[in-house]
Amino acid sequence: MTDATELATRTRELLAAYPPATTSREDFLKARFDAGLAWVHYPEGLGGLAAPRSLQAVVDAELEAAGAPDNDPRRIGIGLGMAAPTVLAFGTDEQKERFLGPLWRGEEVWCQLFSEPGAGSDLAALGTRAVRDGDDWIVTGQKVWTSNAHNARWAILIARTDPDLPKHRGITYFVCDMTDPGVEVRPLRQITGEAEFNEVFLTDVRIPDAHRLGEVGDGWKVAQTTLMNERVAIGGMRLPREGGMIGPISATWRERPELRTRDLHQRLVKLWIEAEVARLSGERLRQQLVAGHPGPEGSGMKLTFARLNQEISGLEVELLGDEGLLYDDWTMRRPDIVDFVGRDAGYRYLRSKGNSIEGGTSEVLLNIVAERVLGLPSEPRTDKDVAWKDLAR
């Protein structure tokens, strides 16, 4: 088995063969992927060495110290955190070979076509239809809240292939080419003024069966892999101490003593401690992932992430008083990244409102934690055995 010493040696050999100072970013990232140092826990030939996931930190530390370029993970977060683990788990050899390299190198941006206006938080009630036509599927429907669809080449998509089955069973999972005819992306302006979200209209979009992930009708099972990884990617992201939302307010507290009050101090200390506990819990969660795929614990982390971001940003606005109400730019933007923390306090306060919706609403995640972590009885579901076509909508 590959160990830390071997990985450090391989990383130094990569740096010697492709010095970051004289090698283009594209060539370096390709060489890193081919050397198995992209994501070391992936199989050989797919950017990894089948090594323990925890050893990725060894590689990253060596490369960071040498000033090596990264793959801009914030820009391709959906691909890295959601599409890649799903393709790895359910893709054919040809699909893994085709998609994983360009995805990791950032050559192709991905988005997620899951949510729909008529399904709300009940994702399994989705109505986008995929009808078989020879070796292709014809897909028609509407998706919503699609981050980065305006930049994406590929999308992970779930669609209903059998309306005669109950809602969880008649779904199939596809990879959709966002440049194909019939795909229309429209911006959704958010409370922040920008439009990182989109609505996507699919009109007779032809998807080859070769771009199906998993078996026909197994889309809900495949989607669970995506959703569990998404919640870890959002709620369990790797952060330094005082990383994330707690950083800016802590810096303001130290630099602006005239703003301090005893009440605000007590509330900030409480939130600082909770943020540190959440950060350390995220470290433990990532260590657990060494042994397998993410489970319902990621839902708990994402719940905590949303609550803390909203409470911390609210306290920051209160600390700053009138300054906290200022907003630096209200012009319509189409950002390349989803930025939970950026810009000023007014932006952070408004952007955090979406944290309890995206990646699974807090209400849905509370149910997951109750049932799958605490072992409490499931809520009554009277529609689970009813054919989708017979459900009230």
Is residue 386 a contact partner of residue 124, using CB atoms and an 8 Å limit?
A: no
Is 46 in the same domain as 158?
A: no
What is the dihedral sign for C-alpha 284, 285, 287, 291?
positive
What is the dihedral sign for C-alpha 23, 29, 34, 36?
positive
Q: Is 382 a domain residue?
A: no
Is 175 in the same domain as 160?
A: yes
Q: Walk along the chain (393 residues) and give the pLDDT tens digit of each residue.
A: 578 899 999 999 999 999 999 999 999 999 999 999 999 999 999 999 999 888 998 999 999 999 999 999 989 999 999 999 999 999 999 999 999 999 999 999 999 999 999 887 789 999 999 999 999 999 999 999 999 999 999 999 999 999 999 999 999 999 999 999 999 999 999 988 889 889 999 999 999 999 999 999 999 999 999 988 777 767 667 778 998 999 999 999 999 999 999 999 999 999 999 999 999 888 777 666 655 566 677 788 889 999 999 999 999 999 999 899 887 777 778 888 877 787 889 999 999 999 998 877 888 889 888 888 889 998 888 888 899 999 887
Q: Is 130 a domain residue?
A: yes
Is residue 368 a contact partner of residue 296, using CB atoms and an 8 Å limit?
A: yes
Instruction: Tell me how many domains the chain contains.
Output: 3
Is 336 in the same domain as 231?
A: yes
Output the pTM of the full model. 0.90
Cα(355)–Cα(340) distance, rounded to whole angstroms?
Answer: 8
The one catalytic residue among 116, 196, 230, 297: 230
Is 51 in the same domain as 10?
A: yes
Is 112 in the same domain as 205?
A: yes
What length does the chain have?
Answer: 393
Is 237 in the same domain as 301?
A: yes
How deeply is 218 buried, as exposed, middle or buried, from its count of CB atoms within 10 A (0-12, 13-18, 19+)? middle
Is 66 in the same domain as 105?
A: no
- Look at strands 212-213 and 171-177 and give their pairing: antiparallel
Q: Is 389 a domain residue?
A: no
Domain with 352 in it = 223-373
Q: Is 393 a domain residue?
A: no
Residue-level pLDDT at 158:
98
Q: Is 320 a domain residue?
A: yes
Residue-level pLDDT at 382:
84
Q: Rg of the chain over CA atoms, in angstroms? A: 22
Q: Is 384 a domain residue?
A: no
Is 166 in the same domain as 112?
A: yes
Nearest-CA neighbor of 110 among 133, 85, 127, 93? 85
How deeply is 232 buried, as exposed, middle or buried, from its count of CB atoms within 10 A (0-12, 13-18, 19+)? buried
Is 231 in the same domain as 354?
A: yes
Is 237 in the same domain as 181?
A: no
* Catalytic residue list contains 230: yes
Among residues 181, 216, 251, the one where a domain terminates is: 216
Is residue 207 a contact partner of residue 139, using CB atoms and an 8 Å limit?
A: yes
Among residues 197, 216, 235, the one where a domain terminates is: 216
Is 232 in the same domain as 211?
A: no
Is 288 in the same domain as 203?
A: no
